[in-house]
Amino acid sequence: VLTVEVDPFMQSIAAEELAEFNNVTLLSIDALSGKNTLNEQLVSAIKHQLEQSSTQRLKLVANLPYNIATPLMANLMLLE
């Protein structure tokens, strides 16, 4: 599980709530770098997670702000 949270307060709550799970990676970043580009830290983390097993697939579960939904989804579909 890879989480992305830009708000430091919400990130601290997530870190506290998810501390007991060893399969969770918390990223305290903006998912986008600019208006239409994925953050490179996010891209690296996703690729790293997917490389861990040939059977892994990318699944997005999110409560996205409306202004990032389209660029985020479009860029995620282009990941190789």
pLDDT digits (tens, 9 = 90+) for 53-64: 888 888 888 888
Eight-class DSSP state of 27:
E
pLDDT digits (tens, 9 = 90+) for 15-52: 999 999 999 999 999 999 988 899 999 999 999 998 88
Q: Report the pLDDT value the prediction gives residue 57, as an integer from 0 to 100.
A: 82
Q: Where are the alpha helices (DSSP H) in 1-80?
A: 8-18, 40-51, 66-78
Q: What is the pLDDT of residue 59?
A: 86
Q: What does the pLDDT read at residue 63?
A: 86
State pTM to two decimals: 0.85
Say if residue 80's pLDDT is above 80: no
